[in-house]
Structure 1
Amino acid sequence: MPDPTLLTGRVLRVLDNPFDAPPEDALKIEDKWGLLIEAGRISDLGPAEQMRMAYPVATEIAYGSDLICPGFIDAHVHFPQTAIIASWGKRLIDWLNSYTFPEEMRFGDPAYAAEIAARYFDLVTAHGTTTVCSFCTIHPDSVDAFFTEAQARNMRVVGGKTCMDRNAPEGLRDTAQTAYDDSKALLAKWHGVDRLSYAITPRFSPTSTPDQLQAMGALWAENPDCLMQTHLSEQTDEIAWVKSLFPEARDYLDTYEAHGLLGENGLYGHAIHLEPRERDRLREVGAALVHCPTSNTFIGSGLFDMNGLMDEGHRIGLATDTGGGSSFSMLRTMAAAYEIGQLRGTPLHAAQLIWLATAGSATALKLDRRVGALARGMEADLCVLDLSSTPAIAQRSARAEDSWEELFATIMMGDDRAVRATWVNGKVV
């Protein structure tokens, strides 16, 4: 077995949820600390000098004043939309028809699916992201491409075949039966292999008939340990469309609940315009919500109620929503979450922002015992941040009165240049 690796620098520790406890007590930035990596896991951490003395055979990589963080976790993405990110000027339904569906048609070609999967993972790891939860397309080949590429990189990821049997082009529709059969076969092939997990994935109620939603609910009941991901209450015109398609439903959430698609392992992307009953039911079952701030502003969806939902006790993750979101960067996503908080009169602390992008998203994905925090026994997925990566950030950082103020400047102005290194499964990439 090779000698252990000792990373030294500033280390971000997660001690509590910064929405439940004072942010600067919940997370700590430890100066001159060290992190020991062995066999892809964190085996020890503590003050750097003590770590050097305790592990004299370890190979040290000194990051100086850089901040060693958990790798970023992007809890809601569409990797097939990589090539159409930042497409101009549409709201959700027109955006899907104009940009998304034509691009997703191309994923019936296994070679194209593999090309985009490789490009996508190159882009996100350059931005310090080590775990993603992705919608694929209706094509099983898109799922195979996603998991094959992630497996080759030893990444911990979640993904699933997107299911749609109406309100989509002919080449992007399956049926209730083929959605069930394909999803079941892909789940059996990939779920639990290496660091891969399958998510049952109806796109959203408008593109699935009640029969297909029922089939997905049946598959989830057969595999309750799997996650189920979908979209909920993203835009007001989408909600009106859902009401016209499901006139018997009490609300948007009821279109899922009535078909067995509401549960603790459910991931509901966006969740902006929730009715009081929906908020209550999501909290009662312990489902997770995923905030996608750059997407919400880019396509004009609305302002997510982070503080109100946190106060009610919801589990919430953070996500880019590539390619409705306008950036692959979780730093930019944190900045957008701050800006939306400001518009709601509830600005977020730097500790809350980085928690959402790490431990918060890990908790949403039920992966918090594996990734999302730097602690003994956790998998060694890391992001090392240079907190003076550009002249603009460096001059602001120099004026900072504490480490949180320093980090906040990088959150608001940083990009991939701030990522000194990304570590996946104990190896730098």
Structure 2
Amino acid sequence: MTKRLILGQTLSFADDPFRVPVDAAVRHERRGAVLVEDGRIAALGAADTLRTDHPDAELTDHGDALITAGFVDAHAHYPQTAMIASWGKRLIDWLNSYTFPEEMRFGDPDYATEIASRYFDLTLSNGTTTACSYATIHPESVDAYFEQAQRRGLRALAGKTCMDRNAPKGLQDTPASAYDDSKALLKKWHGTGRMGYVITPRFSPTSTPAQLEALGALWAEHPDCLMQTHLSEQTDEIAWVKSLFPEARDYLDTYEAFGLLGANGLYGHAIHLEPRERDRLREVDAALIHCPTSNTFIGSGVFDMAGLTAAGHRVGLATDTGGGSSFSMLRTMAAAYELGQLNGSALHPAQLYWLATQGSARALRLDDQIGNLGIGMEADLVVLDLASTPAIAQRAARADDLWEALFPTIMMGDDRAVQSVYVAGDPVRMA
């Protein structure tokens, strides 16, 4: 197998910058290199040292560009790709007006394949090398997503979205079919190559207690799988949940009562949490997924990043496309910074970048495989041009350190900043 030596600035994490000082959390090589063999990182260090030690390696020099782990999007809806940036609705109306009519089309395998292919082309062009997505109720939508991910060699996660009420008849399954379809897809895809199946009740308003119980039973049978759903995104949604589950202590209890609260749970949004919910989520070590562009676009609210991370919650970062308004994790980091400012907490660039890579990988229980530069890690990499536009270049030129050089790209960067992407060590998008 050919060895590949990739040169440039390198950025990796030795620890969580929310827990320890930035200088202790980050490893930066001004002139660094990553050695890739068999799809994994075999060595990491100074460029001159690795060039001397591995003279036979195929060499790619990215100059002053920054090499990091590829971005990890911890919550997305790939079937909403074609309807991203749809105008002017609150969550429930937005679902009925835009989302559900589009998702009706995914029983057609050709259409599902078309959108899945487009989705991965868009995410790769923005430097995202792993995504965790909701599909639709159609098994064909899950197959299309995983098939397209496999074609590109990506690590990918997804699950059939289960709904048996409060959705159009053409988007409803049943408790039995939700269980049966999900189990069949899990057996087909989970652990196949780099694929991971995620048990996926959309959210408690669109599942009856019987369906939630069936999916809780499936999760109990396959506890190594992740489970993803939505939690406390908007205040009117919470009121709706209370009307549908009058016996529940709170929104989280509508999952907990049916076996859908656990350490491998991914709870999207989690903006308007009650104290008991915060405590229980922390007790079980569940992951909370912050979706900032979606929270602003749909007017949901401000996620308590500072309070939740200080309390020890695992937090991932996500685009939530198409409720989120961008496929770019750079734009997502920028929105997280802006919401943090509104909440009185200025996130450091290291914290933002950690959320988009190692933090999201940790939320997905994959931080031993992806989301960081480290020996033995899968070689999914993004290479960023830190002077990709005139506005960014003129600001970065004044930088006194890495963070001043990187922050303008976080705040103003887009796919033009993505110079190259490597998936399992192979270049898939070169400038």
- Aligned twin of 1:98: 97
The 1-side partners of 2:213 and 2:405 are apart by 50
1:355-410 per-residue CA deviation (whole Å, 9 max, x = no partner) reads 00000000000001100110000000000000000001000000111111110000
- Residue 62 of structure 2 aligns to a residue in which SS? strand
- Aligned twin of 1:11: 10
1:335-372 per-residue CA deviation (whole Å, 9 max, x = no partner) reads 00000000001010000000000000000000011001
CA deviation after TM superposition for structure 1 residue 331, in Å: 0.0
- Aligned twin of 1:298: 297
- Residue 81 of structure 2 aligns to a residue in which SS? helix
The 2-side partners of 1:186 and 1:382 are apart by 29
- Aligned twin of 1:83: 82
In the alignment, residue 22 of structure 2 is paired with which amino acid? P
The 2-side partners of 1:410 and 1:297 are apart by 21
- Aligned twin of 2:182: 183
- Aligned twin of 1:331: 330
CA deviation after TM superposition for structure 1 residue 29, in Å: 2.2
- Identity level (%): 71
- Aligned twin of 2:170: 171
- Aligned twin of 2:246: 247
- Residue 369 of structure 1 aligns to a residue in which SS? coil
In the alignment, residue 138 of structure 2 is paired with which amino acid? H
In the alignment, residue 158 of structure 1 is paired with which amino acid? L
Alignment of 1:180-329 (within 5 A): 180-329=179-328
- Residue 345 of structure 2 aligns to a residue in which SS? coil
- Aligned twin of 1:27: 26
The 1-side partners of 2:370 and 2:39 are apart by 12
The 2-side partners of 1:145 and 1:23 are apart by 41
CA deviation after TM superposition for structure 1 residue 13, in Å: 1.4
CA deviation after TM superposition for structure 1 residue 27, in Å: 1.4
In the alignment, residue 50 of structure 1 is paired with which amino acid? T
Q: Which runs of 5+ in 1 are unaligned?
A: none
- Residue 98 of structure 2 aligns to a residue in which SS? helix
- Residue 252 of structure 2 aligns to a residue in which SS? helix
Alignment of 1:117-136 (within 5 A): 117-136=116-135
In the alignment, residue 207 of structure 2 is paired with which amino acid? S
CA deviation after TM superposition for structure 1 residue 22, in Å: 1.1
Alignment of 1:337-376 (within 5 A): 337-376=336-375
The 2-side partners of 1:401 and 1:43 are apart by 31
Residues 128 and 383, structure 1, Cα contact 8 Å, conserved in 2: yes
What's the TM-score once normalised by structure 2's chain length? 0.99
CA deviation after TM superposition for structure 1 residue 287, in Å: 0.3
The 1-side partners of 2:37 and 2:220 are apart by 38
Residues 162 and 202, structure 1, Cα contact 8 Å, conserved in 2: yes
In the alignment, residue 332 of structure 2 is paired with which amino acid? T
CA deviation after TM superposition for structure 1 residue 60, in Å: 1.1
- Residue 205 of structure 2 aligns to a residue in which SS? helix
In the alignment, residue 360 of structure 1 is paired with which amino acid? G
- Aligned twin of 1:55: 54
In the alignment, residue 84 of structure 2 is paired with which amino acid? I
The 2-side partners of 1:232 and 1:211 are apart by 19
The 1-side partners of 2:90 and 2:166 are apart by 16
Residues 24 and 351, structure 1, Cα contact 8 Å, conserved in 2: no
Q: How many residues align?
A: 428
Deviates further, 238-247 or 394-403: 394-403
- Aligned twin of 1:151: 150
The 2-side partners of 1:388 and 1:264 are apart by 40
- Residue 399 of structure 1 aligns to a residue in which SS? coil
CA deviation after TM superposition for structure 1 residue 25, in Å: 2.5
CA deviation after TM superposition for structure 1 residue 167, in Å: 0.1
Residues 358 and 372, structure 1, Cα contact 8 Å, conserved in 2: yes
- Aligned twin of 1:396: 395
- Residue 42 of structure 2 aligns to a residue in which SS? strand
- Residue 252 of structure 1 aligns to a residue in which SS? coil
The 2-side partners of 1:137 and 1:366 are apart by 23
Residues 268 and 288, structure 1, Cα contact 8 Å, conserved in 2: yes
The 1-side partners of 2:267 and 2:244 are apart by 19
In the alignment, residue 177 of structure 2 is paired with which amino acid? T
Task: Spell out structure 1 runs of 4+ moving beyond 4 A.
Answer: none
1:48-105 per-residue CA deviation (whole Å, 9 max, x = no partner) reads 0000100000111001110001000000000000000000000100000000000000
1:139-160 per-residue CA deviation (whole Å, 9 max, x = no partner) reads 0000000000001111001100
The 2-side partners of 1:351 and 1:167 are apart by 42
The 1-side partners of 2:149 and 2:46 are apart by 33
Residues 138 and 173, structure 1, Cα contact 8 Å, conserved in 2: yes
1:93-148 per-residue CA deviation (whole Å, 9 max, x = no partner) reads 00000000000000011000000000000000000000000000000000000000
Residues 67 and 387, structure 1, Cα contact 8 Å, conserved in 2: yes
The 1-side partners of 2:22 and 2:100 are apart by 41
Q: Which runs of 5+ in 2 are unaligned?
A: none
- Aligned twin of 1:413: 412
In the alignment, residue 146 of structure 2 is paired with which amino acid? F
The 1-side partners of 2:9 and 2:246 are apart by 55
The 1-side partners of 2:34 and 2:184 are apart by 40
The 2-side partners of 1:414 and 1:225 are apart by 36
- Aligned twin of 1:378: 377
The 1-side partners of 2:235 and 2:21 are apart by 35
The 2-side partners of 1:26 and 1:86 are apart by 36
- Aligned twin of 2:39: 40
